[in-house]
């Protein structure tokens, strides 16, 4: 699939400006194109002609040309997690080792 990640990022961040949107550190979205996406749970798999992405809230400035908007925090869209992926107990042990050495660790399922 050829999804324009820049446009998808803008669209997700514009959606996040709605007053009813719950800003979480992590969301999952499934999309077939950059203009039509849905937020989903971590277990849901993409259908035919769809892809699944991670949306991480970051302290990263984003300029949205439509409306001349500058966001101080924005969602970045990626197909790879920026934190270790926890699939089984072995992965959890690795993350706990990071927490022991660095006093803090994040992982996602």
pLDDT for res 75: 94
**In which residue ranges of the chain is pLDDT below 70?**
1
pLDDT for res 55: 93
Q: CA neighbours within 13 Å on the CB side: how many for 82?
A: 13
Say how many residues make up the chain. Answer: 109
Neighbours of 60 (CB within 10 A): 12
CB 58 within 8 A of CB 82: no
User: Could you identify the residue written with the tokens 């970045």?
Assistant: 76
Distance separating alpha carbons of residues 18 and 42, to the nearest angstrom? 22
Straight-line distance from the first to the last Cα atom of the chain, in angstroms, rounded to the nearest whole number: 24
If you count DSSP H runs as helices and E runs as strands, how many of each does the chain have, helices first? 2, 6
What's phi and psi for 11, nearest 5 deg? Answer: -65, -40
pLDDT for res 87: 83
Q: Whole-model pTM?
A: 0.78
């Amino acid at each position: 699939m050829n999804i324009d990640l820049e446009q998808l990022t803008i669209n997700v961040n514009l959606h996040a400006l709605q007053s009813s949107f719950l800003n979480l550190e992590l969301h999952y979205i499934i999309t077939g194109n950059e203009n039509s996406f849905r937020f989903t749970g971590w277990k849901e798999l993409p259908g035919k002609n769809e892809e699944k992405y991670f949306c991480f809230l970051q302290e990263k400035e984003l300029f949205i040309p439509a409306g001349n908007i500058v966001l101080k925090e924005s969602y970045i869209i990626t197909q790879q997690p920026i934190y270790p992926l926890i699939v089984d107990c072995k992965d959890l042990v690795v993350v706990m080792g990071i927490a022991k050495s660095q006093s803090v660790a994040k992982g996602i399922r």
